[in-house]
Chain A
Amino acid sequence: MNNPPDISQDPAEHEEYAHNVQKHVKGYLMVGGALLVCTGITVALSYVDFGSRKANIIVAMLVATFKAGLVGAIFMHLAAEKKLIYRVLIFTGFFVTVLFWLTYFAWYDPVAR
């Protein structure tokens, strides 16, 4: 979904503009609801035994990532942002992954006999 356009300096257009934003407001409320539901789901799932704790962690992280996605995409308008910001975030994402993955990897692969 798109972001509400910036208001124009011209008061004449103001009417339908406000209306335009109004539409988005509904969306925001829905997303909020969705997030609350997901929170409930996360809690519930943590009491379901998926066999191993690993499995439980993975499931919980998937839900969390989904929620994070919603917040980012809708509340933070990432669904439709400028290229520039995407670029910055892609690099950041990459480096943060590197930080996680490589430290884990280094932990996982020590000198051994």
Chain B
Amino acid sequence: MEIPYTISNRPDTGLWNAKIGIWLFLASEVMLFGGLFSAYVFLRLDSPPGLWPHGLLNVPVGTMNTAILIASSVTVVLAWAALKMRKYRAYWWYMLITILCGITFLVVKLAYEWPQKFEHFGIYIKQDRLEKYEPYLGNKHLAEKGLPPRLEISGHLHNHEALHDANVKEYEVALDPVNADPTNPAMDRPHFFYVPPTEKIGKIDKEDVERATMFLPTHSTYFATYFTITGLHGAHVLGGVLVFIYMWLPVSKKLYQRNPEHLANRVEVCGLFWHFVDLVWIFVFPLFYLL
């Protein structure tokens, strides 16, 4: 006896097996990211004023990546439709574009966005020393406007030896524009385009420092959630790309010749997964880049 309904529908459910399978899997995925996002909410609610950073991420790049994912989602359905219409060449091209989109997304994230963060340096000032660094923080100015205070001075670390050498008593940082010119109203809201650190060097005594790290997951619960969620999402993208590559290779051409509907079903299933990954990103993007 063979396993029925691998390709055609079971009459009473009107579905073939893999279709149900993938939807169940996606259901569990919803719960997985649900767990992560509820953690995000929980931690964000817990964070005291000023401790949830804003505008640290590169919005245009994020936007571009969003667009790329959306585009790839479109090409996947098109690829599937092409198969339905039995146009293998079209399918092949759409699939190729999808794969390339996926890869670009990953490259941008891993080779550009993340490293850019890793080399950024953030210094949290002790509560009772904040006044001392008023010129970098401009908290009075913020207080007047009723905005949350700034507790962190960020930029590019000049004297890297400061990280491990105890004799070096202060950090020298090429300040971010925000800290270079804190009272400038333009700085109240995060910039749209990423602005590199200025030439202006800020000096911060180690005594006054609460914590100082690069923008790594350990930097703050914000970056912890950011790297964890985008990392997990990236893993999903990678998985999708790999499967797509398999279905784009000649192997699947053989399957197509044997039974086109079967290939179409597979593409549909992976497509569903891909759309879901896209869908997750649709929430990740505003939550981390914009808000």
Contact = CB atoms under 8 A, between A and B. Distances in A.
Interface string B63-91: 10011001101101110010011100000
Contacts of A107: 42, 45-46
Interface string A84-97: 11001101110110
A95 B286 contact: no
A104 B278 CA distance: 26
Contacts of B74: 28-29, 31-32, 75
Contact of B73 (A21, A75, A92): A75
Nearest to A61: B286
B78 A28 contact: yes
Contacts of A82: 13-15
A6 B290 contact: no
B37 A100 contact: yes
Given A21-B85, A28-B77, A103-B42, A60 B37 contact: no
Contacts of B31: 92, 95-96, 99
A28 B85 CA distance: 15
Given A4-B84, A7-B84, A89 B41 contact: no
| Size bracket of the A interface | 35 or more
B27 A67 contact: no
A79 interface: no
Nearest to B12: A84
Given A36-B70, A76-B275, A107-B45, A85 B286 contact: no
Contacts of A99: 31, 34-35, 38
Interface string B14-57: 11000110011001001100110110011001100000000000
Contacts of B59: 43
A105 to B, nearest CB: 11
Given A42-B285, A71-B282, A35 B275 contact: no
Contact of B41 (A7, A22, A28, A104): A104
B163 interface: no
Contacts, number: 134
A39 B73 CA distance: 14
Chain A CB count within 10 A is highest, among B19, B24, B46, B282, for B282
Interface in B165-181: none
Interface in A67-86: 67-68, 71-72, 75-76, 82, 84-85
Contact of A88 (B24, B78, B260, B275): B24
A18 B286 contact: no
B189 interface: yes
B81 A84 contact: no
A53 interface: yes
B290 A42 contact: yes
Chain B CB count within 10 A is highest, among A18, A40, A42, A57, for A42
Interface of B: 9, 13-15, 19-20, 23-24, 27, 30-31, 34-35, 37-38, 41-42, 45-46, 59, 63, 66-67, 70-71, 73-74, 76-78, 81, 84-86, 189, 192, 260-261, 264, 271-272, 275-276, 278-279, 282-283, 285-287, 290-291
7 contacts: A6-B9, A21-B84, A47-B192, A64-B285, A82-B14, A84-B15, A92-B31
